[in-house]
Structure 1
Amino acid sequence: MTDTKRALIVVLDGVGCGEAPDTAAYGDQGSDTLGNLARAVGGLDLPNLQRLGLGNATPIPGVAPVAHPVGGFGVMLPRSCGKDSTTGHWEIAGLHLARPFPTYPQGFPAEVIDTFARNTGRPVIGNCVASGTAVIAEFAEMQRQTGAWIVYTSADSVFQVAAHEAWIPLDELYRACELARWQLVAPHDVSRVIARPFVDGEQPGTWRRTANRRDFSLQPPGDTLLDVLEAAGVPRHGIGKVDDLFAGRGIASQHTADNAAGVAALQEWLATAPRGFCFANLVDFDQLYGHRNDVPGFRGALEAFDRALPSLLSALKEDDLLFITADHGNDPTTPSTDHARERVPLLAVGARVRGGDLGVRDTFSDLGASVAHWFGLDWRGRGTSFLPELLHP
């Protein structure tokens, strides 16, 4: 009976596990977020993920293969063009992009900046490629003096707007990002416009980004898993930035401040939701550690998630499936501080799951296809369901 079925996809943002067939085309040769991180710290301690089969899916020092994994395990290859969160989540949900979103290694063209300034009524400073913490450190005092937006980008397809919460109200920042999202259409159809609020740090002259970030994504150009679940009347719940990535279509999200809050939200959903689908993004791996090449921080975040995992596993009911995966890589050991084109791990667990090898899946979309299959839907998107291989006969 589908009325008691539940499925959860937990995306460990940026936790890739090695090169994809086309990694070289993206300039990411040698990237292996999990493997390189483990080698850099002398091995990872992830006993609960290990029992699910993480070490069986991909080589990770410290996480050896186990003889009898309690979950299904494998890896998934990216097939959509791009290596950002929007692209990865859309592909999980069954949608492939034919071309990558545009990027701006020299900053945005003058006409883009001039239009944004005119539409929002404030001048622009920055317009550079930079990390968020560095660009705020460089331009915060100028923003205090001029009231200008700090606009910047990265190697990814993003138009980011930073503003101090005491100088420019949050509502105005969000409205400016909405105007930018409306403005940025082809050929400047960036994947996401991101509001990046910050406040004073603990020491004078220092700054701290807040948890009030918001992402404004493009509308998906075709049907996704969320659309078909909505049409079928299956309840959907997001945790983290998921609703932003899908422009709010087919899902609403419970925004969380960090991974710990995300896990708590997952625990709450498991304890209270009678049926339906939960799509969660745990962003700390990527946002706090991958982009900053923080090897110890990344390790700590993974091991903290592993310690929390039993609380999720123990809450699963007979008709539940839990999937753990990622959306791209963000290797903290490489010189780059940006996303990497990587394959991603695939773990699946539930009372009806037989432990075993799901192999190398040809696309992230196989996951969305399997969730649709679990809920009794015919739709498969761009993927192939692995449900027959996953469940006991």
Structure 2
Amino acid sequence: MKSFERIALIVLDSVGIGALPDAEAFGDKGVHTLGHIAEVRGLSLPNLSALGLSNIEPIPGNPAAKSPRAHYGKMAEVSAGKDTTTGHWELMGVHTQKPFKTYPNGFPKELLDAFSQRIGRGVLGNKPASGTAIIDELGEKHMETGDVIVYTSADSVFQIAAHEDVVPLDELYRICETARELTLDDRFAVVRVIARPFIGRPGQFERTANRRDYSVVPPHETVMDQLAEAKLDSIGIGKISDIYAGRGVTRSVKTTDNMDGVDRLLQVLKEDYRGLAFINLVDFDSKYGHRRDPEGYGRALEDFDRRLPDILETVRERDLLIVTADHGNDPTYKGTDHTREYVPLFVWSPSLSEEGVSLGIRETFSDVGATIADNFGLNAPRHGTSFLPDLKMKQ
């Protein structure tokens, strides 16, 4: 089939669509991010439904489309994890065989002593925590002492929170670079170091959009690397560049929230790029999934659904739009961790048949990367099967 000139890939961070067969092994029996939000507070997603949302899996209040506008399906994660990095790497052809190291009891004293000595500041916290909860708990003490707040989560992350008036951003970023250097040691390995700046006063603290992630690089070549090597565009919007440690990203566009991300994507789609525009919409996960807020999560989904027509109208005749997710985060489930789920898959273009067909259950997220590589004539990634031949073109 004739290839597409451009591909736009949207990751709805944590928008899972039902437990994977191995979910119980991850402590996630019976999870269903979309389904449970719909059951708890109702969901009105007419535009996603028109693409085929409930044709993938019945979502209460959203009837299956008689003639879905998009090709649709769902994808299984096969990597050994359920975090952001694992999911995104798998989308680009990398399977993670060994789970990333986590710190459910906090970081070892040896690491924190070396970290504190290097940065010239003390450390508060050192435990798994919600980012908003820990700044509410320790923000005032941080402002009094100048000690930085260090915390982790169920993911492999070393997070550093500091008030922007106490620790200027440039210093916070240098502190994170120090943590990144120290945690490259196999004894203390973490996948991401994250700067978590905040502002405000006790009782009214608020995290800012000046977050910055410092990730390890993928263990081998991704489809994005191939795009860059072929002199094609590989544009990362939102935290994409951070997730891949900048590798394979020819241009990075920062965002402040989901709706700003949609605005930035629309701007890129109006440009004459050739290759991939890849965006992560993080609010579903960071603001609502981890905080176990189904009401806020539902509103965010409906906000995106209202913007979907703008995206479809901007996609050009020879563009391909892919919408999916990177894991689940069922806000009705116990704890604050991601959940092991299938992710939805929507594939749409003005040049495809107006009646979409089922792409079935894909065996790995890497089918997305394989499709991108197939479209641009690149080497197939180590994992994944292209669904490009399965797309039904207009007659």
In structure 2, relative to structure 1, the CA distance for the partners of 1:3 and 1:34 (3 Å cut) is: closer
Q: Is the 8 A contact 2:112 2:123 kept in 1?
A: yes
CA distance in 2: counterparts of 1:181 and 1:76, whole angstroms: 32
Measure how far apart 1:4 and its partner are: 7.1
Measure how far apart 1:2 and its partner are: 8.9
Measure how far apart 1:178 and its partner are: 1.2
Extract unaligned runs of 5+ from structure 1: none
Q: Is the 8 A contact 2:75 2:361 kept in 1?
A: yes
- How far does the alpha carbon of each residue in 1:149-176 deviate from its partner, in whole angstroms, 9 at most, with x for none? 1000111111100000000010111111
Matched position secondary structure for 2:196: strand
Q: Which amino acid aligns with 1:315?
A: T
Counterpart in the other structure of 2:156: 157
- How far does the alpha carbon of each residue in 1:309-368 deviate from its partner, in whole angstroms, 9 at most, with x for none? 001101111110000000011111112222111110000000233311000000000011
Counterpart in the other structure of 1:216: 214
Matched, 1:188 2:178: no
CA distance in 2: counterparts of 1:170 and 1:237, whole angstroms: 25
TM-score (structure 2 length as normaliser): 0.96
Counterpart in the other structure of 1:23: 23
Counterpart in the other structure of 1:65: 64
Matched position secondary structure for 2:188: coil
Counterpart in the other structure of 2:385: 384
Measure how far apart 1:137 and its partner are: 1.1
Q: Which amino acid aligns with 1:386?
A: F
Counterpart in the other structure of 1:363: 364
Q: Is the 8 A contact 1:225 1:381 kept in 2?
A: no
Q: Which amino acid aligns with 1:379?
A: A
CA distance in 1: counterparts of 2:163 and 2:173, whole angstroms: 12
Runs of 4+ in 1 over 6 A off after TM superposition: 1-4
Matched residue count: 390
In structure 2, relative to structure 1, the CA distance for the partners of 1:265 and 1:331 (3 Å cut) is: same
Counterpart in the other structure of 2:236: 238
Matched, 1:276 2:297: no
- How far does the alpha carbon of each residue in 1:198-217 deviate from its partner, in whole angstroms, 9 at most, with x for none? 0115xx53211111111111
Matched, 1:40 2:40: yes
Q: Aligned Cα RMSD in Å?
A: 1.5
CA distance in 1: counterparts of 2:382 and 2:278, whole angstroms: 17
Q: Is the 8 A contact 1:76 1:363 kept in 2?
A: yes
Residues 299-338 of structure 1: pairs in structure 2 closer than 5 A: 299-338=298-337
Measure how far apart 1:22 and its partner are: 1.3
- How far does the alpha carbon of each residue in 1:75-120 deviate from its partner, in whole angstroms, 9 at most, with x for none? 0000111111111100001001110111111101111111111221
Q: Which amino acid aligns with 1:256?
A: T
The range that moved more, 369-378 or 162-171, is 369-378
Measure how far apart 1:378 and its partner are: 3.0
Counterpart in the other structure of 1:5: 5
Matched, 1:139 2:131: no
CA distance in 2: counterparts of 1:272 and 1:58, whole angstroms: 35
Q: Is the 8 A contact 1:117 1:123 kept in 2?
A: yes
In structure 2, relative to structure 1, the CA distance for the partners of 1:119 and 1:307 (3 Å cut) is: same
In structure 2, relative to structure 1, the CA distance for the partners of 1:36 and 1:205 (3 Å cut) is: closer
Q: Is the 8 A contact 2:196 2:211 kept in 1?
A: yes
TM-score (structure 1 length as normaliser): 0.96
In structure 2, relative to structure 1, the CA distance for the partners of 1:69 and 1:4 (3 Å cut) is: closer
Q: Which amino acid aligns with 1:207?
A: F
Percent same amino acid among aligned pairs? 53
CA distance in 2: counterparts of 1:231 and 1:15, whole angstroms: 31
Measure how far apart 1:187 and its partner are: 3.6
Counterpart in the other structure of 2:351: 352
Q: Is the 8 A contact 1:4 1:274 kept in 2?
A: no
Matched, 1:111 2:89: no
CA distance in 1: counterparts of 2:17 and 2:203, whole angstroms: 38
Counterpart in the other structure of 1:127: 126
Counterpart in the other structure of 1:197: 197
Matched position secondary structure for 2:314: coil
Matched position secondary structure for 1:272: coil
